[in-house]
Each structure stands twice: as structure tokens, then as C-alpha cells.
Amino acid sequence: MRLHIGIDDTDSAKGGCTTYIAAQLVEKLSQMQVRFIDYPNIIRLNPNVPYKTRGNAAVALRLEAPDTEYDKVREIAIQTVEQYGRIGEEGTDPAIVFLRGKPPPVVVRLSRRALTEILSLHDAISTLRNSSGSAVSYGSGLGLVGSLAAVGNTLAGDHTYELIAYRRPRNLGKPRRVDEDSVIRMDRLTSPNTFNNYDPTNKRVLIKPHGPDPVLIGLRGETPRVVYRAFRLLRLREAVERWVIFRTNHGTDAHFKAVPPRMPQANSPVVLKGVVHTMPIRIYGGHVFCELQTSRGVVQCAAFEPTGKFKDVVASLIPGDHVTVFGGAKQHGQLPLTVNLEKLVIEHLSEDVVPQNPRCPRCDKRMKSAGRGQGFRCPRCCYSSSKISKRLVKRERNLLPGLYVPDKKAHRHLTKPLSRYGLEKRRWDGKIPTGAWHTP
Ligand code: ZN
């Protein structure tokens, strides 16, 4: 029997982590008559869902077991979620989905929609009914959406790996003790096959989260081997309780690939081609706003301060530039829909032409306007003429066409970092996990 187990929404603002439950389950199931047919998957869903806890991630475990083991596997999964899930805390509505065989098309379709839409509990329940799956849910049951979506997304195309090491319970809430120099060294030795380890621009270690969750570090890379090697290169100053290598859609732009061609909708990813409509403006706080003329009308775009140099690139656009923008659409009250930019491709730069006062034909001094319709007058030699007019001068653009993404620290989990361009995988080889991929 092939069995897919999807789990979602077990964490709360106070702590917990769905991937930790997956790591616990890996330990328990690997002691049984069970064979994992894939690394545990972390599936990031639509990052624009407003009620998500942190990253909007669900997990899926995929395994093969004798039919006789089914009830036992199911029981252990339920027990583990009940033990480590933050059931009863605000906004925590866990669910576990069990699906035998291959995920049917109806579930695959739901998982695709979950990357770009906000699905309802009703969507999930009707999909579950049309599949052979079963589920256990707690609270409002909203976790059903993510757990079903995780089961249906088998990461057949581009994917990456993440090694997550977890903390001992007694260290929870304390600062994470990871030697910074060892992170820099590991980054030097393993990138670009690992990514988002360190942000040199802001001198920031990116492998450590900051919340109350049990994750000590997460190492992202192209293969299970390279994330394991990177892990061995780190000097950790606190004990690791357990670690697991996950296969994920991190850093793959999966949310943009799934965007259907339609009007931008609030809380959804957006990909839009257009022409810069007005001069971008920078507001208090450093955020940059820019209007884009598209085939669907004028759309407001925003690059926020934490995006670093990216917002300066947006600020140096001028009307007439041809761009493709990628981001998340947000609606704030009565304001027009705004696209929070996550990526920008400058296709074509327009000429920056500005009118300039002419030079004096006698003494070469820059002339001044003699008044509306009166021509120009030289402030040095007093030559004046009504026949001279302004000249158009081309200014240098300090910008090149191409791809721009925010500083690493402002990346979303799904954002494809610059270093991954060219490393994308067409498909997954389907090989079962081998070598060191979890402890214990
Ligand atoms: Zn003059």
C-alpha cells in the first residue's frame, strides 16, 4: 500500500511547527515496517493568505507499508499531531489527511489552486469527498485545505531541499547559538548549491529563524547531499535534538508559475507586463510606489523598505520603461489594489530625455527664460532672442535591463533567489531517500 499523509496548521503564534511533527513522525515510522518513497515534503502555499502563521507551509509524508500496518500508521500520526500540535490555541486548526495510492487529479488540481488562491474549507471537503482520502481535523478544520494541498503537490517539477535541525525543548525561547563565521565559511564552500544562508549586504545570518518555534537552523540547497555537507560545516553552540532533510518548493517561484491569466486579485500572486505610467515616488519610511499601465488598466506597485537595493531600482524607473512585475496583490481599505513587488524584469528602458535651456550663441553661458513666449536671455552678455527654444538632452540611465529581486533578507520562502537561475530541475528522479537524511 502506498500512503500519503498530509499535515497542516499545527503551529500557533506562541510556538510549534508542522515540520517538527513531520520529523517526529519520521523517527516513529522508520522504526516500523514502513519504507519512505520520498523525502518528507514541505509545501509552501499561497504566501498572500492573510491568516497564515508565519510561512503558510504544510507537510506531506509519502510511504509504502503493508496493508496490515495502515491502522497503526494512522494511529501514530494522529497521536503525534495531538501531542505536538498547539491544539486549542487561537488560529490553530490542525488537520491530517490520509490518502492511499496515487493522488487523484481532483486533489492535484486543488493543490495547484492553493498556490495562488484562498481556498475555503468547503473546497477542501468537497475535494476530499471526491477522492478516496480520509481526514482527521481539529478546531475549525481549516488545516484540511493545506494538508490536502500538500498531499496533492508531489513536487514533480523544480524543487529544492532543506535540512532542518531542531532544538531541545529546554532551549526554546532562548537565542539560537550558531557560530556566525562557520555560516559564512559554509556559504563560501557550498553556494550556489546552497542558498539564502547569509546576507552579506546586511551582515545577517539567514539560516536561523527568530520565532518561538523549535527550528534551530534550516539549510536550503539543490541536493540532499549538499545540505548535509553544509550542516556538517556548521559550528553549532547548542545541542540538536533531531534533524531531517525535506524536499520542498522553496526558492522555485512555484506561486508565480501557477498564476492564471486574469485581473490581479487581492491576496493572490500576480504576474503583469506593463509600461511605467508615472514617475515612481518614495514615501516616508523609504517605501517606493510606482504606477504601471497594463492591458488591464493602471496598477499600483510597491517596493518596501526592507527590499534594500531593489526598492532603489524601482525608484529609478521612469515613464515608458517596459517591465514585467511579480508580486502579491493586497487591498488596504479604500485604496486601490497594490502589488507588493517580489521580483522585477526590466525588458526595455526608455530614453530619459529632458528639456534644457539653450546656451548663449555669443558667450556659451546657459541662457534663462525671458518669460513665457519671449524666448531666452543670456544672464552674462544680455543677448536675447525669441527665436531660440529649449533643447532636448538625453540623460544617462544608471540602470540595465534584466532581472531584479529584493535583498535576501526580504525573500519569501517561495522566491527564487538569483543564484538559483540556471539550476532549476525539470523533474524529480523519484528515487527513494538514501544515505543520511534524518537523525534519529
Ligand atoms: Zn551670452
Give the CATH number of the domain where residue 7 resides.
Answer: 3.30.70.2200
pLDDT in tens, the chain (440 residues): 999 999 998 887 777 789 999 999 999 999 998 999 999 999 999 999 886 655 678 999 999 999 999 999 999 999 999 998 888 888 888 999 999 999 999 999 999 999 999 999 999 999 999 998 999 999 888 899 999 999 999 999 999 999 999 999 999 989 999 999 999 999 999 999 999 999 888 899 999 998 888 999 999 999 999 999 999 999 999 999 999 999 999 999 999 998 887 778 899 999 999 999 999 999 988 999 999 999 888 999 999 999 999 999 999 999 999 999 999 999 888 888 899 999 999 999 999 998 899 999 999 999 999 888 888 999 999 999 888 888 888 989 999 999 999 988 888 899 999 999 999 999 999 999 988 999 99
Q: How many domains does the chain have?
A: 4
| Ligand 1 centroid from CA 206, angstroms | 61
In-domain check, residue 75: yes
Cα of 393 from ligand 1 centre, angstroms:
20
Distance (angstroms) between ligand 1 centre and the Cα of 384 equals 8
- Same domain? 200 vs 226: yes
State whether 103 and 125 are in the same domain: yes
Q: Is residue 440 part of a domain?
A: no
- Claim to verify: residue 140 and residue 26 sit in the same structural domain: yes
Predicted structure pTM score = 0.90
Distance 364 CA to ligand 1 centre (A): 6
The predicted structure's pLDDT at residue 432: 92
Is 201 inside a domain boundary? yes
User: Do 233 and 272 belong together in one domain?
Assistant: no
**What is the 388 CA–ligand 1 centroid distance (Å)?**
13
Residues 231 and 298 in one domain: no
Cα of 21 vs centre of ligand 1, distance in Å, is 81
Query: How far, in Å, are 314, 399, 427 from residue 345 at the CA level?
Result: 10, 12, 25
- Mark whether 364 and 402 lie in a shared domain: no
Sign of CA dihedral 210, 213, 216, 217: negative
Specify the pLDDT at position 204. Answer: 92
User: 352 alpha carbon to ligand 1 midpoint, in Å?
Assistant: 28
Ligand 1 centroid to residue 377 C-alpha, Å: 8
Q: From ligand 1's centre to the CA of 366, what distance in Å?
A: 8
Q: Is residue 408 part of a domain?
A: yes
Question: Are 402 and 263 members of one domain?
Answer: yes
What pLDDT score does 90 carry? Answer: 82
> Which string of b and e fits 177-196 if b means at least 16 CB within 10 Å?
ebeeeebeebbeebbbbbbb
Give the Å distance between the CA of 354 and the centre of ligand 1.
Answer: 22
Same domain for 297 and 272, yes or no, is: yes
Where among 252, 281, 301 does a domain terminate?
252
Distance 380 CA to ligand 1 centre (A): 5
Q: What is the pLDDT of residue 391?
A: 87
Q: Angle between the 180-190 and 224-232 helix axes, to the nearest 10 degrees? A: 150
Of 138, 154, 170, the domain-final residue: 154
CA of 379 to the centre of ligand 1 (A): 7
The residue among 131, 154, 177 that closes a domain is 154
**Do residues 248 and 290 both lie within one domain?**
no
Query: How far, in Å, is the centroid of ligand 1 from the Cα of 383?
Result: 6
In angstroms, what is the span from residue 396 Cα to ligand 1's centroid? 28
**Residue 211: its pLDDT value, please?**
85
CATH of the domain at 189: 3.90.600.20
Assigned domain for 214 exists? yes
Residue with cell 519512505: 36
Compute the distance from residue 376 Cα to the ligand 1 centre, in Å: 11
Distance CA 188, CA 156 (A): 30
Residue 435 lies in a domain: no
Domain residues for the domain of 32 are 2-154
Q: What spacing in Å lies between the alpha carbon of 395 and ligand 1's midpoint?
A: 25
Q: What is the CA radius of gyration of the chain?
A: 27
CATH code at 272? 2.40.50.1010
Distance, CA 398 to ligand 1 centroid (Å)? 33
Q: What is the phi/psi pair of residue 220, to 5°?
A: -110, 140
Report how far ligand 1's centroid is from the alpha carbon of 368 (Å). Answer: 10
Within a domain: 421: no
User: Ligand 1 center to residue 353 CA distance, Å?
Assistant: 25
Q: What is the pLDDT of residue 170?
A: 93
Structural domain contains residue 200: yes
Give which of 102, 25, 34 is closest to 70, Cα–Cα. 34
Same domain, 75 and 139: yes
Find residue 314's DSSP bridge partners.
Answer: none
Residue type, 304: F
Residue 143 CA to chain centroid, in angstroms? 20
Q: 190 with 233: CB under 8 angstroms?
A: yes
Determine the distance separating the centroid of ligand 1 and the alpha carbon of 363, expressed in angstroms: 4
Residue 146 and residue 290 in one domain = no
DSSP-derived secondary structure letter, 157? S
Shared domain check, 221 and 232: yes
